[in-house]
Amino acid sequence: MLEAFSKTAVAPLGFICTTYQAQSLAIAGSCNLRFGYRDDKASVFANDLWRDLTSCRSGFEASPDLAVNHPDTYLLRVWRTDGATYRLSQKDKAALESTYVFLSFEPM
């Protein structure tokens, strides 16, 4: 999903995606999907996405960097491969009445 967006600039249906320059100076990508605030579907989706990511990319789970921009709740999982770092996060934001699931991809 993210690699395709990075090459085509077309976001998957329902997702909001963007590219950015990472601290490593590589061009990285991030996509998010919005759910209702604390909707159980967000957790199910995040868990399914994590399972798919870890089963299709050889790598290992890394300790997350917990710096956040003050969501109500925040869950971050990091998966590292030989060529990239993937970050999957779930954020509840009461002020926006939304829960977001983000998947980011940063090539190494």
- Tens digit of pLDDT for each residue in 47-83? 999 999 999 989 999 987 666 566 567 889 999 999 9
- When the pLDDT of each residue in the chain is averaged and rounded to a whole number, the result is 87
How many structural domains does the chain have? Answer: 1
Euclidean distance between CA atoms 93 and 85, whole angstroms: 25
pLDDT at 100: 96
Q: In what order do the strands lie in the sheet with 73-80?
A: 16-21, 27-36, 98-107, 84-93, 73-80, 60-62
pLDDT at 8: 74
CB-CB neighbours of 81 under 10 Å: 14
pLDDT at 86: 93
Burial 30-45 (b: 16+ CB within 10 A, else e): bbbbbbeeeeeebeeb
pLDDT at 65: 64
pLDDT at 13: 75
pLDDT at 33: 94
Which range is most confident: 5-9, 10-14, 29-33?
Answer: 29-33
Question: Is the separation of the CB atoms in 57 and 65 below 8 Å?
Answer: no
Nearest 5°: the CA angle 100, 15, 40 is 35
pTM for the full predicted model: 0.83
Note down the domain range covering 102: 2-107
